[in-house]
Amino acid sequence: MKIAFVGKGGSGKTTLSSLFIRHLAAEQVPVIAVDADINQHLGAALGLDEAESAALPAMGARLPLIKDYLRGSNPRITSAETMIKTTPPGEGSRLLRVREDNPVFDACARTVRLDDEAAVQLMVTGPFNDSDLGVACYHSKVGAVELCLNHLVDGPGEYVVVDMTAGSDSFASGMFTRFDMTYLIAEPTRKGVSVYRQYKEYARDFGVGLKVVGNKVQGPDDLDFLRAEVGDDLLTVFGHSDWVRAMEKGRPPRFELLEEANRQALETLRATADRSYERRDWQRYTRQMVHFHLKNAERWGNAKTGADLAAQVDPAFVLDERLLAAPQPA
């Protein structure tokens, strides 16, 4: 199951995605956590210290390796250089599975140990600097995540959780359509809700499963405000968490001590994500990745690579979790 946390900066994406990741990990289910936020804080929210966070390998710096592995022996993709973030898999491509060893995870994922036996795999795009924002380099960092999602065959009971910026960058690519569930984190403020409106507009045309999760909700007024602004899209809310405060002071209490109301909210997120499996449609998922690939090819990819990137599309290929059992092409 692929789950995104999006929202305005400061709304609590990183905090709530890290709590959700801890919640899943505590139940011993496989979890890959991905930090694709402009502010790279997911490692810290999962308890890594500064040195450990800084030592995480950046996906953005390993794009050639990622591309070379994923293209495998796909005859339509003749080089890693002509592979762009939206290049879809086809016959001969290598796919990623949540529970496997592969060179992409070897290079880009690190195990983060949480309470007790709980552990997750963490992947990070790598830090963004000023020169990245709004230009190709920023796109290519997040693009590494999009490439991986487009080559991932995941089934129920295994999770990829992405902490993501809700900026226009995720709409220019197909990134926002890659998830079974998108949780939009909103504080009960006009700004928080305005990000929701923008996201919903993009999401509507693509059948994106979108729910709003209120954060830092302090009382009936806050709840009424969110209900009035968001209606049925409001899934659940989190209140202020002393557990989170303590964690931020570098003194993380055991996860089982998280406030009960917040734990209930996490369980709602999980149950909702699990239920979204019924709506999964690999045909649509594949069609959408082709759609965004053709759009990106025309807009900048063809010019940048000097190739006709539409030719990379394998018309007969449909990504499908039945491929979970298939042997990987050499």
Ligand X SMILES: Nc1ncnc2c1ncn2[C@@H]1O[C@H](COP(=O)(O)OP(=O)(O)O)[C@@H](O)[C@H]1O
Residues near ligand X, by CB under 6 A: 7, 9-15, 37, 39, 41, 215-216, 238, 240-241, 244-245, 248
241 interacts with, out of ligand X, Mg ion, none, CB within 5 to 8 A per kind: ligand X
Which structure tokens are listed for 246? 């303590």
Residue 191's contacts (CB-CB under 8 Å, 6 or more residues apart) are 8
Residue 195's contacts (CB-CB under 8 Å, 6 or more residues apart) are 6, 7, 8, 11, 166, 184, 186
Smallest separation, CB 86 to Mg ion (Å): 25
Smallest separation, CB 172 to ligand X (Å): 20
Task: Outline where 187-253 has alpha helix (H).
Answer: 190-204, 220-230, 242-248
Size of site (CB under 5 A) for Mg ion: 5
Task: For ligand X, give the closer residue by CB, 106 or 248.
Answer: 248
Please name every residue paired with 212 in a beta bridge, in sequence order, or none if there are none: 184, 234
Considering only the stretches 40-48, 172-180, 307-315, 321-329, report the one whose residues sit in contact with Mg ion under the rule CB under 5 A.
40-48
Q: Is 187 in the site for Mg ion (CB under 5 A)?
A: no
240 interacts with, out of ligand X, Mg ion, none, CB within 5 to 8 A per kind: ligand X
199 interacts with, out of Mg ion, ligand X, none, CB within 5 to 8 A per kind: none
Question: Are the C-beta atoms of 6 and 181 separated by less than 8 Å?
Answer: no
Task: For ligand X, give the closer residue by CB, 7 or 89.
Answer: 7
10 interacts with, out of ligand X, Mg ion, none, CB within 5 to 8 A per kind: ligand X
H or E stretch at 26: helix 13-26
Smallest separation, CB 185 to ligand X (Å): 6
CB atoms within 10 A of CB 41: 18
- Distance (Å, whole) CA 127 – CA 117: 29
Which structure tokens are listed for 245? 């405060």
- Distance (Å, whole) CA 75 – CA 77: 5
Smallest separation, CB 295 to ligand X (Å): 28
Q: Is 312 in the site for Mg ion (CB under 5 A)?
A: no
Q: Which positions from 192 through 221 interact with Mg ion, judged by CB under 5 A?
A: none
Task: For ligand X, give the closer residue by CB, 136 or 261.
Answer: 261
Question: Are the C-beta atoms of 153 and 327 separated by less than 8 Å?
Answer: no
Question: Are the C-beta atoms of 124 and 43 separated by less than 8 Å?
Answer: yes
- Distance (Å, whole) CA 56 – CA 148: 18
167 interacts with, out of ligand X, Mg ion, none, CB within 5 to 8 A per kind: none
244 interacts with, out of Mg ion, ligand X, none, CB within 5 to 8 A per kind: ligand X
CA end-to-end span of the chain, whole Å? Answer: 26
Smallest separation, CB 312 to Mg ion (Å): 33
DSSP-assigned letter for residue 129: -
71 interacts with, out of ligand X, Mg ion, none, CB within 5 to 8 A per kind: none
Task: For ligand X, give the closer residue by CB, 213 or 309.
Answer: 213
Task: For Mg ion, give the closer residue by CB, 37 or 132.
Answer: 37
Task: For ligand X, give the closer residue by CB, 213 or 289.
Answer: 213
The residue type found at 195 is V
Task: For ligand X, give the closer residue by CB, 245 or 275.
Answer: 245
Q: Is 14 in the site for Mg ion (CB under 5 A)?
A: yes
Task: For ligand X, give the closer residue by CB, 11 or 82.
Answer: 11
2-7, strands of its sheet edge to edge = 109-113, 119-124, 31-36, 159-164, 2-7, 181-186, 210-214, 234-237
Please name every residue paired with 4 in a beta bridge, in sequence order, or none if there are none: 162, 182
Give the binding site for Mg ion (CB under 5 A). 13-14, 37, 39, 41
